[in-house]
Amino acid sequence: MTQRRIGRRGIGAALVALLTLGGPATQAGAAEGDHNGYEGPPYAVERVEGPVELRRYAAHVVAEVRVGGDRSAAVLSGFRILGGYIFGDNADGREIAMTVPVSQTPELPSGAGGTLRDASAGPWTVRFMMPSDFKADTLPAPKDDRIRFVTTRPERQIVARFSGIPSTNDFEEQGAALREWAAAWGLEITGGPHLYYYDDPMTLPWNRRNEIAFTVR
């Protein structure tokens, strides 16, 4: 599959996308994650009911950065750092294909109950999946020492998908409903919430794909 690449000039448009709280687009495709030339993390759908899916994700390599600020400021800050890396600001001067989604996870205080309001000032972890033809030790070294590479473990996530330009309240409402789904399905939440942004700035709000997810067992 041909990978779309966003050149250095494309970073401005990509940042506009995140300023309006979007990101590049995908939906489950041939590899349950690829769409429209963008590669997504590999997963299989175990169960689906309405807008909710139970997915089993395979291990994959991500680049991540830890940032502060509120939700919208943090995802923009993380995108700038990671976007610079994939757009060629790395030891090899090499551009790396953009993937989806942009992922954002709060580091919640003990006993917070997993609400985004408890993470209003962060810190947050923002991630880009790295294309599957790379391993952690074959990626160009970052110039920014805030960036680190992680190989994720296989895990299950319960995921709710919704459209629009998401606010923190939207994510909170979707997350509360998702917790009820998890309980009804007999699943224990062990991580999250994970916020996933998929769409480019030209995508109309009602066609945008946003997701909130929890790691479960």
Question: What pLDDT is stored for residue 208 in this prediction?
Answer: 87
Is the predicted pLDDT of residue 204 greater than 50, yes or no? yes
Question: What pLDDT is stored for residue 159 in this prediction?
Answer: 97
Answer yes or no: are the C-beta atoms of 156 and 57 closer than 8 Å: yes
Partners of 57 in the β-ladder: 43, 155
C-alpha distances (whole Å) from 181 to each of 56, 110, 214 are 16, 23, 11
- Give the pLDDT band (50/70/90) at residue 33: low
pLDDT in tens, 136-183: 999 999 999 999 999 999 999 999 999 999 899 999 999 999 999 999
CA-angle at 63, arms to 13 and 176, nearest 5°: 80
% the chain with pLDDT above 90: 69
pLDDT in tens, 82-140: 999 999 999 999 999 999 999 999 988 655 556 777 777 779 999 999 999 999 999 99
Question: What pLDDT is stored for residue 119 in this prediction?
Answer: 74
Q: Which domains are seen in the chain, by residue range?
A: 10-216 (3.20.80.10)
pTM: 0.84
Tell which residue, 140, 146, 152, has the closest CA to residue 62: 152
CA distance 41 to 150: 13
More confident residue, 209 or 146: 146
CA distance 170 to 148: 30
